[in-house]
Structure 1
């Protein structure tokens, strides 16, 4: 039975040139991908941590500068409050309701000594225990709203009954400490200033008044202004007071004489209580007055600093009006209830790592494109002979398939011829056998006639019989020859059958060889991807 020639179909895969190109790309960019991972997972966090340390150090340094500044001002105010002429002047006022001109002049001379302590000082004022000014230098003091000293501050500076009675285990009446006021601002001069309130006590530790020392905070504003861009592009600093109000902020124009301040100056980072708003309005804190409210910025991260017991030193937040996250570090001062905050954009902190990451990605892209082009060109040169061999094998496979199909057709036709010959040979054999039978019968009849010829016309009968016998002998001879020919035909048919079987076997072998060759071709096509 002849087997049909099967045609197999393979699924197309990537070409060999593309595979080589992909391999080169993988080899080229694997180290770069590893570098990208290192930058993302290690270098970038390290850069952020380093930036945090730097801005923490910066905040700490400036906090120490502010504390040193206020410590010097407080020491100077306390030293001035201990001068005897001031005690004498305030004592005479308490006892007599007025002081002599000599006592007053000596007190003025004592206040004037404070003028040489620095250009920051604006005014020195002696207040009685009710907060009213009694003597000042170099000019009359300006009130803060309705007061020369805010009621809450005055209450802390006034001596109480317990402190008036001294005992063995009681602190002296001079136990009242120096107090620093909130920040005041003059929209006219565009200057901010604060007061230091120092108790004036006699040698008997009896408090007789309060020294109000007023000085501007140009020095502090200058420190904050210089922070603009110090910790990278877009970095700045600001100071929060105990109310969460920004009392100093880096200005885009750091010139102190330009009068241009940051738009966030004197804005709060958390909602203010009713009591605080009343205090601001009554005392004209921040230059707002009773008619101007303090704007509140929406910065939840900074608001949380005032709600947590132990707030974090570093934090991240998005400033109002911006979309970029900023990194911040804070430090608190010990001389005043302020918080110094240094801020820098997060991208500035990670600028080096981001630049390395961008450079690595660009290099990876360039190498990918280059490796792809080189891989394709190289693979084409390498795979060209293989592709040519594949094409030749494919043509040979097709030719072998066609030959196998032709041999199958020839073998089929030869089988049909052999079958027809066998059928004819069987018919001829049948008729030959029948003729032999008839001849044998005729021969037997002739023999009997010849044996009884006496009863017949002798000459005629004998002649007829003689002719019949001759014909019979001739037929026997012809039949014998036909039999021999039949044997030869049988041999020929047998040989043709063997040839047909060999053709069938050859066609089958050719088909198998074609299938195997096609499998080899398909495997090569899978390798080269064509």
Structure 2
């Protein structure tokens, strides 16, 4: 009996496979477009975002540059008017000129220069002469002196006769200012005659820096470093007036003496190696990646150096914001793919089910037919086996009959021999012998007829057994053919099951 392996490996159903191929046909172009976007468009978008960041830094730094340039030009023009030069030529005897200077200065400050919060006049040695302020402010010393010695030295070295001081912060007014120093030059006397210090509020500059918050994506911002690496304008209160690297001892001592950043005598260090490196660069702009102190993500940064003041304008934006457009495009593509995926999956399942259902019914019918053929094959094999067993038994019986027939034949031969021997005896016994012999001959003839009859019967039985044997062999051959057909049918059923995934 042949052994057939059961179908155990299960494949995906036909409906599932049709759904999969429909989805693949629709989604594949989207993913090809997505791959092209990642390779080509993403790089273009990132470069464009970097150019936008650079343009933004250029625009805002130029606004600050123009603002400082305009203020320096304005104070130089106002500080060198004839009436101012007249006063400085003889401060003691020109009190009338003093009143005009104060009145004109207040009027101009109030109408045109509200950012100039205080104007203070000094002689060439830095001694105080007078001041005026539309806000009623009075000059305060920076450390021990109204004009720090370092500022006097820088002003004396200036070829433009102007100098911009470091930033000063007043914790009472919470206002940052810088001092615009101008040396008054008398065109009549052909020499310097005095010093005017205009205290400029940095509110305008702060407003420009504050507009950078979120301007280049969520989390973007800007700040300004001075030449020493101190964050003099920074929207983050925790970073304001901190340095990117430790300051030298001379500068620290000066800060302790002058208290430019309020009551603090030391500048905290919020180290940043990338920004420290920027201070040593002479050429810009240049974009670079940095993780600012206190932040937990990488930022793309660009810097611009001012020409009027030794400051550096830095704009930073999270790299995720730069990649936002590319990521948004990726997100939209994935959403479209998902929206296409769901209806295609349903359609594929419906189409696959409509195709696989009749095939499944046919497979079930074939499976039942295969089972019936299997049972028929088993029954025919059993019948053929019984027929063969009967043939074997009949053949054994026939051999036994043949043996008895041969024995009877020998007995008849013996009787004939004995009868002939008795006939050859003397006459005196002849009558008795003849009678016995006659009986023996009758018995022998009877045996002989019986043997002839038995031989005929044996011949017919042998013919019947031969026919029966041939029939049994045909039944066995038929059973094998049915078994082979059943095997082929099982293979067809298994292949159909693989197709429909059942």
TM-score band, normalised by the shorter chain? 0.7 to 0.9
Give the alignment partner of residue 7 of structure 1, picking from 1, 4, 10: 4
What is the alpha-carbon distance in structure 2 between the residues aligned to residue 281 and residue 247 of structure 1? 17
Corresponding residue for residue 127 of structure 1: 122
Residue 212 in structure 1 maps to residue 183 in structure 2: no
How far residue 518 of structure 1 moved from its aligned partner, in angstroms, is 1.3
Alignment map for 1:37-186 (pairs within 5 Å): 37-80=35-78, 82=80, 99-102=91-94, 105-106=96-97, 109=100, 116=108, 118-137=113-132, 141-158=139-156, 175=159, 177-186=161-170
Task: Provide structure 1 residue ranges, at least 5 long, that are not aligned to the other structure.
Answer: 93-98, 160-173, 252-261
Equivalent residues of 2:42, 2:326 under 8 A apart: yes
What is the alpha-carbon distance in structure 2 between the residues aligned to residue 361 and residue 202 of structure 1? 74
C-alpha RMSD over aligned residues: 3.1
Give the alignment partner of residue 189 of structure 1, picking from 173, 196, 199: 173
Q: 1:89 to 1:241 in 2, by over 3 A?
A: same
- Tell me the SS of whatever aligns to 2:172: coil
Q: Deviations for 1:184-214, whole angstroms, at most 9, x for unmatched residues? A: 1222233222112234456686555543332
Equivalent residues of 2:284, 2:304 under 8 A apart: no
How far residue 433 of structure 1 moved from its aligned partner, in angstroms, is 1.7
How far residue 41 of structure 1 moved from its aligned partner, in angstroms, is 4.3
Give the alignment partner of residue 338 of structure 2, picking from 365, 377, 380: 365
Task: Provide structure 2 residue ranges, at least 5 long, that are not aligned to the other structure.
Answer: none
Equivalent residues of 2:356, 2:500 under 8 A apart: yes
Alignment map for 1:154-303 (pairs within 5 Å): 154-158=152-156, 175=159, 177-201=161-185, 207=192, 209-250=194-235, 262=237, 264-286=239-261, 288-289=262-263, 291-297=264-270, 299-303=272-276
TM score, norm. by length of structure 2:
0.87
Equivalent residues of 2:86, 2:97 under 8 A apart: no
Corresponding residue for residue 18 of structure 2: 20
The 10-residue stretch of structure 1 (493-502 or 181-190) with the greater mean CA deviation from structure 2: 181-190
Q: Deviations for 1:490-521, whole angstroms, at most 9, x for unmatched residues? A: 11111111112112211221221111111111
TM score, norm. by length of structure 1:
0.82
Equivalent residues of 1:227, 1:237 under 8 A apart: yes
What is the alpha-carbon distance in structure 1 between the residues aligned to residue 56 and residue 74 of structure 2? 27
Equivalent residues of 1:157, 1:210 under 8 A apart: no
What is the alpha-carbon distance in structure 1 between the residues aligned to residue 53 and residue 68 of structure 2? 22
What is the alpha-carbon distance in structure 2 between the residues aligned to residue 522 and residue 100 of structure 1? 120
What is the alpha-carbon distance in structure 2 between the residues aligned to residue 267 and residue 29 of structure 1? 53
Corresponding residue for residue 171 of structure 1: none
Equivalent residues of 1:202, 1:208 under 8 A apart: yes
- Tell me the SS of whatever aligns to 1:457: helix
Corresponding residue for residue 435 of structure 1: 408
Q: 1:433 to 1:140 in 2, by over 3 A?
A: closer
Q: How many residues matched?
A: 493
Equivalent residues of 1:6, 1:515 under 8 A apart: no
